[in-house]
Structure 1
Amino acid sequence: MTHSNIPALTYKGDANTAVPLQAHEQQLQTVTADHWLKISDEGLQLEGLCFNRDGDLILCEVFGGSVFHVKLPNKRVTKLFHSEKQNPAAVKIHKDGRLFVCYLGDFKDSGGIFAVDSNGEHHEDIVSDVETEYCVDDLVFDSKGGFYFTDFRGYSTNPKGGVYYVDPEFKSVSPVIQNLAVANGVALSTDERTLWVTETNANRLHRIDLEEDGVTIEPFGASIPYYFTGHEGPDSCCIDSDDNLYVAMYGQGRVLVFNKYGHPIGQILLPGRDEGHMLRSTHPAFIPGTDQLIICSNDMDNDGDSWLFTAKGFAKGHNSYQFH
């Protein structure tokens, strides 16, 4: 056999890109997002997109601790406040109007949740980093004012993370599901009976059907409808009014979209991803009352900047009680 006749592999399709799509995901309805707003010329780990009742955007950057305010419609960016706690990872608005900030602490055992008013003042500990060992990454409220939060601990063979429920009076913390390898994103269905959780270091999507108490899992109610592939894994997520789930893929520069049963139905790619840019996509969120999705990412791996991107989803964002 001559050298020229030796069987050889050749790059086809996007196999030679920085983050190739899997064959079954290449067939999904796919769009590429537009640039929407530059947050910084530096690579900041943007997270925690949350719109307040004035329609303005609040977001944080994890490693530096800044919480930003984006005034709409002119998109003027200002720093709202600096987190007193280490590594803030999410900002959510409670029904009383306060901002609840999740923080990871030292990524081992010193995370928690605190609340501040709309100006970032009057700090109150909600889940104490002194009394607990969680690394809190994200939360989602229910209509009663209680909330579910994710514990961002562990790794692939040491599943120390989980999801917990805090009652509306913030007096009790109840486990919902445990033994997860870095529980990350969390979303609640429009009827508040299905909880979605992304497990980053095991590359899994969890769909959890809850009984009326919001804590007990229905018989056979916890399942894994989707296994992700590639580095690094699923991050934060949100739903639209049709109960479709939008999951940011960290390290992959895209958002995968699932229907209410966990079947993939579409994806949104960030510009530059094939060349290895803007891969740190962390969080999608809808502008209230619209089908316009905002996605945050940064290009710190290439000494690049930090951006928000936009695309339209399948339906309008879920108009939860928080915006009434």
Structure 2
Amino acid sequence: MRVRMAWVTGCLGLAMAGVVPAADEYRLGLESTERAAGVPKGRVESFEFEASRVFPGTHRHGWIYIPAQYQGREPAAVMVFQDGHAYVGETGLMRVPIVLDNLIAKGAMPVTIGVFVNPGHRGGGGPDGSGWGNRNNRSVEYDSLGDAYARFLIEELLPFVERTFEVRLSDDPARNAVAGMSSGGICAWTVAWERPDRFGKVLSHIGSFVNIRGGHVYPALIRKTGRKPIRVFLQDGSNDLNNAHGNWPLANLEMASALAFAGYDHRFVYGDGAHNGRHGGAILPESLRWLWREEPGAGVGLEAVLPDGGIREGWELVGEGYAFTDAAASDADGNFHFSDLPRGDVYRVPAAGGTPRLWLENGPKISGMKFGADGWLYACVQATGTNETRRIVAIEPGSKRVETMATGVQPNDLVVTRSGHVFFTDTAAGQIQRVPTSAREMSRPPTVAGGIARPNGIALSSDESELWVSEHGGRHVWRFALNPDGSLGGGERRAVLAVPNGGADSGGDGAATDGEGRVWVTSHLGIQVFDGEGRSLGVVSRPQDKGSVSVAFGGTGHRMLYVCSSDRVYRRMTRTLGR
């Protein structure tokens, strides 16, 4: 089912926030101020952490809440609160230990260990554990995009907590939540966005989804990235900040709209509060009830072409244990082929499915290949055995006879037209070159386009009127008009590839097209998908953390999307037909 957004303004907030007599005068309910009769009290202990390698030289205060029901036999759910001092006290605006005691006792949430951690501080003069004093590493840790803070939690802080307090924490993302207010709110979202395999729930109070360190891009990323398995609760108020970094209410409204568009299981509560924790604290019990409820959400996004919206779990492992897979290609019947490049082997996966079988052994070391209309396999060769000569070859599929088409080349990847032209990318020279399929022992074939930032992947539109080329060393996908005589015209940077936070280039690599005009390009972020006009449709998650380098459609009807990823090959079913 689709989860509807909740808009809570004025008196509409009464059901969740208690009495609201005037703007920003939210009051805590009984579940926040006192433990119900018979509810056992969990214990809270403090700690200090100074051993971070992700943020070296920082020291920070923290606390752990261990519910009375925790016995240690099974891993407990865990919820990590940023700016922990604002959440852990029993006399402040949040009073999380009291709320958790009540909700756990009622069965409204699982037995959950709370970890409350303050941002790091370098050098002397830092504040004590309590209060909002200046912690000089806070903005770097909380407002920055990227996976640094997620790594800090997963690799450093949570293992430290387990060792120090002898507790067991679940690594199931459905039982891991992360929360914060202001910059801590966007930090919570970034943690789950970067590592949805570990954190599946986010609670953001007055989140700073503005341009402090680039966080204003999240609404656009959410719309154009395959939906991730994250449940999100957002809270903000109409009297929140409006300054040089941006407008907090508008930014949160944009986030809520993007989450709705992309089909996330989310809720947005919008009141009239300012930049503080009053409203978030007043609705905290209901926020946690909603966040930890059992029923699943549902969504759309890339589901127009991928049944699961492009999440990592949608990939199926086809084969593993190779030195380096590349050169994804399918024949007319949908039989999928790929190379184990360093070993000079080519494998074949039948269109009906199954496991890879060796098709060509100890042959050329192939970085890119495609089948022509004549049934021959055309390939970019990096070497053959100890012979380091690079060339373009044609392979007769029956006898596996290899014939040299062109030498004096530095080929990376190629396509073959029905009219008998092979176009290939020369990554180092920034060029596209052309050779006829009839050529044999041709030297230095002509260049037909140049000035491209390390061109890599190359693909034809279904009607062969367009040629698409990805930039490995840049941020664009080029589109050329392909004329009947084999000449190219109208070269333009048509699509913009997303770049990882802090990255210099997209890593645009292998490319494929489908019958509806979409262009699929592997990159550092995943497989980026564009419509025929170059507009981004989303990013399909990588099957593993290692890079994805080559992509092709295969299988019965060419509906299966295959990707070569380092030492493995994966596939997933689509709702489109590949070229």
Query: What is the distance in 2 between the residues matched to 1:74 and 1:188?
Result: 25
Aligned residue number for residue 509 of structure 2: 235
Residue identity opposite 1:38 in structure 2: V
Query: What is the distance in 2 between the residues matched to 1:71 and 1:191?
Result: 26
Aligned residue number for residue 195 of structure 1: 467
Aligned residue number for residue 427 of structure 2: 152
Aligned residue number for residue 213 of structure 1: 485
Residue identity opposite 2:430 in structure 1: G
Query: What is the distance in 2 between the residues matched to 1:194 and 1:261?
Result: 11
* Matched ranges for 1:21-32 at <5 A: 23=218, 24-28=220-224, 30=226, 31-32=310-311
Aligned residue number for residue 126 of structure 1: 405
Residue identity opposite 1:281 in structure 2: S
Residue identity opposite 2:578 in structure 1: G
Deviations 1:273-299 (A, max 9, x none): 5xxx2x31112212252433222213x
Is structure 2 residue 189 aligned with structure 1 residue 13?
Answer: yes
Is structure 2 residue 111 aligned with structure 1 residue 111?
Answer: no
- What is the Cα-based RMSD across aligned positions, in Å? 2.9
Q: Residue 289 of structure 1 aligns to a residue in which SS?
A: helix
Larger radius of gyration: 2
Residue among 134, 138, 157 paired with 2:413 = 138
Query: What is the distance in 2 between the residues matched to 1:238 and 1:175?
Result: 22
Q: Per-residue deviation at 1:150?
A: 0.7
Query: What is the distance in 2 between the residues matched to 1:59 and 1:225?
Result: 27
* Matched ranges for 1:76-115 at <5 A: 76-85=355-364, 87-105=365-383, 110-115=389-394
Residue among 338, 341, 360 paired with 1:62 = 341
Residue identity opposite 2:550 in structure 1: H
Single out whichever of 237-246 and 87-96 deviates more from structure 2.
87-96
Q: Per-residue deviation at 1:72?
A: 4.1
Q: Residue 256 of structure 1 aligns to a residue in which SS?
A: strand
Answer yes or no: is the 8 Å Cα contact 2:551–2:563 preserved in 1.
Answer: yes
Q: Residue 221 of structure 2 aligns to a residue in which SS?
A: helix
Answer yes or no: is the 8 Å Cα contact 1:176–1:217 preserved in 2.
Answer: no
Query: What is the distance in 2 between the residues matched to 1:190 and 1:307?
Result: 25
Q: Per-residue deviation at 1:15?
A: 5.3
Residue identity opposite 1:79 in structure 2: L
Residue among 421, 430, 434 paired with 1:165 = 434
- Consecutive unaligned residues of structure 1, counting only runs of 5 or more, are 154-159, 299-304, 319-324
- Structure with higher RCO (Cα < 8 A, 6+ apart): 1
User: TM-score scaled by structure 2?
Assistant: 0.45
Q: Per-residue deviation at 1:237?
A: 0.6
Answer yes or no: is the 8 Å Cα contact 1:104–1:152 preserved in 2.
Answer: no
Residue among 200, 204, 209 paired with 2:476 = 204
Q: Per-residue deviation at 1:144?
A: 0.6
Q: Per-residue deviation at 1:226?
A: 1.2
Query: What is the distance in 2 between the residues matched to 1:215 and 1:188?
Result: 14
Answer yes or no: is the 8 Å Cα contact 1:208–1:223 preserved in 2.
Answer: no
Residue identity opposite 2:499 in structure 1: T
Query: What is the distance in 2 between the residues matched to 1:114 and 1:196?
Result: 22
Q: How many residues align?
A: 287
Q: Per-residue deviation at 1:54?
A: 4.3
Deviations 1:20-50 (A, max 9, x none): x96333321512153333322x353211222
Is structure 2 residue 537 aligned with structure 1 residue 265?
Answer: yes
